[in-house]
Every structure is written in structure tokens, then in C-alpha cells.
Structure 1
Amino acid sequence: MKKPARNPREVAEIVAIQALSFLAGDPERLGRFLAETGIGPETLRSSAADPNFLAHVLDFILKDDDSVKAFAEASKLHPTNIMAAREVLGDRKWERDVP
């Protein structure tokens, strides 16, 4: 049995990976994402280990209301949870600012 996610960063990364899987399930969306990011399909899997890349995945989903609605429905998440995940992934600077 998998252990449950314990911290907001881990949960946010899981949401972003779900979003990437959602994109991969639609060739048209995936093509737009790959064109926008400039990465190739061969580097998609290795890029998924990078938190900055995961933040960009959520940025891509969040910039289009239809994509947000479709992903929220597919993942059974409320749209605000998707935005919250993006905020957590983008909050790296605070970790360095704390003494």
C-alpha cells in the first residue's frame, strides 16, 4: 500500500503529474504544450522530475478555462485545488528566505 502524501509540496507535485497525464491523453493538447515549452516527447518523462517543469504544466492548464474545467472533471479536483497546487510549486523562494 502506498503511503499517503504528507506535505503540500508532495500533493502539488502529484496534481501536476496528473495534469501532465491529462495532457498526454489528448494529442492536440499535448502538441500545443510541447510546442509552447519547446521540449520533445522524448524528454517529457525526464522533465517530469523537475518541480519547475511541473509548475509550467499547471500554468499551461490554468491559462485556459476549458482546460481547467476538463482537467478538474477528469481528476475529480476543484479548480481552486489546481490553482493552490500551482501556488505551492511556485513558492520555492520562501524556503530560501526563511532564516
Structure 2
Amino acid sequence: MNAVPDPMKTNMSADRAQTLAVQALSFLAQDAELLPRFLSLTGIQPGDIRTAAREPGFLAGVLQFYLAHEPTLMHFCEATGTNPTEVQRALHTLPGGDEAWDRQI
């Protein structure tokens, strides 16, 4: 009998993970309700988002924001046609989103 592969353990390319995270950031930036909540939770000022986005771990933080609140995650996934497991896989592919990477610091 062939085992069904676990979608969480299937590798995702770094480019695909980054593309998904940038898409999530763009979606967040265009949402009048999500953006203020994200800024409040992160402490980032609106004018500092572009600078913050260049920092390692920022895009992982964007995905963590979605994953921390299921209604927000589902809103993004339904609007973009993204499978929620893809968001989780992307998080673990990005710097700052992998628990093993976090333990190295």
C-alpha cells in the first residue's frame, strides 16, 4: 500500500514561499481592517513597512500573522485561491519561520 505524502512535509521552493508571502503582504496592505491590526501587533509604523520588509524574518512574520487567526487566514485563502497548508509550508521555508532556524539564533 502506498502512503499518501504529508502535504506539510512536501518541500516548497524558497522562491514560491517568498512569492506567497509577498502576495500575503500585498493583500494585507490593501485591507483597511487588516493593516491597522498588523501594524498594531507588530509595532511597525506605516511608513516603515518597506524598510521592515527587507529584514530577514519579516515575510515569515506576515505569514505568522495570518496563521495566528483562522478567520484572517481563511479570508486571505478564499480571496486568493490559496490552500491554507501552502501558507504553513511557506512559513517553514522562509527565514525566521523554521523552528530549527529559530533555535540557531
Paired residues for 1:24-63 under 5 Å = 24-63=29-68
Q: Which runs of 5+ in 1 are unaligned?
A: 1-6
After superposing on structure 2, the runs of 4+ consecutive aligned residues of structure 1 that deviate more than 4 Å are none
Rg larger in structure: 2
State the shift of 1:46 in Å: 2.1
Aligned residues: 89
1:65 and 2:70 matched: yes
Are 1:17 and 1:48, in contact at CA under 8 Å, matched by a contact in 2? no
For the residues of structure 2 that align with 1:47 and 1:18, how far apart are their CA atoms? 16
CA distance in 1, matches of 2:101, 2:70: 28
Q: Which amino acid aligns with 2:55?
A: D
Q: List alignment gaps of at least 5 residues for structure 2.
A: 1-11
* Matched residue SS, 1:50: coil
Percent identity over the alignment?
43
Q: TM-score, normalised by structure 1?
A: 0.80
Cα distance in 2 between the residues matched to 1:69 and 1:28: 15
Alignment TM-score, normalising by the size of structure 2? 0.76
Greater helix share, structure number: 1
> C-alpha deviations, 1:8-36, integer Å up to 9, x for none?
11211111111111111112210010011
